[in-house]
Amino acid sequence: MDARPLVAVVGPTAVGKTALSLELAAALDGEIVSADSRQIYRYMDIGTAKPTPAERARAPHHLIDVVDPDQPLTLAEYQRLAYAAIADIHARGRLPLLVGGTGLYVRAVLDGLRIPAAPPDAKLRARLEEEAAAAGALALHARLAALDPTAAARIDPRNVRRVIRALEVCLTTGRPISEQQQAAPPPYRTLRLGLTRPRAELYARIDARVDAMLAAGLVDEVRALLARGYSPHLPALSGLGYRQIIRYLAGELSLEEAVQEIKRQTRRFVRQQQTWFRPDDPRIHWYDLSVVTPAQIVAAVKAWWGREGGG
């Protein structure tokens, strides 16, 4: 396979990845491959900040609305679909743009992560979920730390689902998941663009985005999901925005409390994303969108592509 170009646009939630990706797609005859673990779900548009129909009309988008909220999509399946989409875009002579803030998705594609071949074990997962409920998420994370300290260091103790998956792999294969998650980078010519803003500006954008989601009908979107029969306990509905609005609809929070909690948790999530997209990662070309314009970034990508022999 020839080393064909791939541009990745990464960075924290609400930094401006969608807007830049649309500019790049228009200027470089590009198509967008989503690297967002929430935008894969159908019927979940507002709370996942999916590109709007008007934005999708400006450039082809891939890996959005892939499964229903009660259908799992494994990392291996996402990786396979992403590689297929990228190959399809290359075959049509266009430039693929991998865009998103889900670090594990980005790493799976760009680093060629070899995903452990350990099928889900429903009974083991149920036992681990019971253990987490009884002893707490921190106790379950401590168990993982004893078996696989490298994996535990990478996983937020509050992310029970990822802790359970890491334990599942360790316990079913007898080998740490970190040992099995080796990488074999695909033969792309990759340019990684990292977007950033001053923290106060980013937090203001997060607050404005959450307010816009409420105004756009987030509460009605969550209510409609529950009316379709989707369980409020589904992993898909555990994401930011959805779990807080579910608690509001259940009478556990006021709407104002739910909104403030969404904003607070989103800021926390941004800090977690920094562990995936590190400022000191030499592979990422960082751009502060408070001082650099999208036009300047487009020009830089054109220059890179020209030097590399692209169109």
Tokens of 102: 């889900």
Q: For residue 310, what pLDDT is reported?
A: 44
Cβ–Cβ < 8 Å for 32, 60 = yes
Cα 228 to the chain's mean position, in Å?
25
Task: Indicate if 145 and 243 belong to the same structural domain.
Answer: no
Burial 232-269 (b: 16+ CB within 10 A, else e): bebebbebbbbbbbbbbbeeebeeeebbebbbebbbeb
Q: 173 Cβ partners below 8 Å, 6+ apart?
A: 116, 118, 180
| Angle formed at CA 83 by CA 81 and CA 88, multiple of 5 degrees | 95
Q: 224 Cβ partners below 8 Å, 6+ apart?
A: 43
Full domain range(s) for residue 154 = 122-180
Q: What is the mean pLDDT of the chain?
A: 92
Q: What's the domain count of the chain?
A: 2
Task: Indicate if 160 and 208 belong to the same structural domain.
Answer: no
- 22, 27, 31, 36: CA torsion to nearest 10: -30
Q: For residue 309, what pLDDT is reported?
A: 41
4-17: pLDDT as tens digits: 999 999 999 999 99
Task: Indicate if 89 and 221 belong to the same structural domain.
Answer: yes
Q: For residue 117, what pLDDT is reported?
A: 66
Task: Indicate if 110 and 213 belong to the same structural domain.
Answer: yes
Task: Indicate if 89 and 16 belong to the same structural domain.
Answer: yes
Q: For residue 2, what pLDDT is reported?
A: 52
Whole-model pTM: value is 0.83
Count other Cβ atoms within 10 Å, centred on residue 199. Answer: 12
Residues of the chain with pLDDT under 70: 1-2, 117-118, 180-182, 307-311
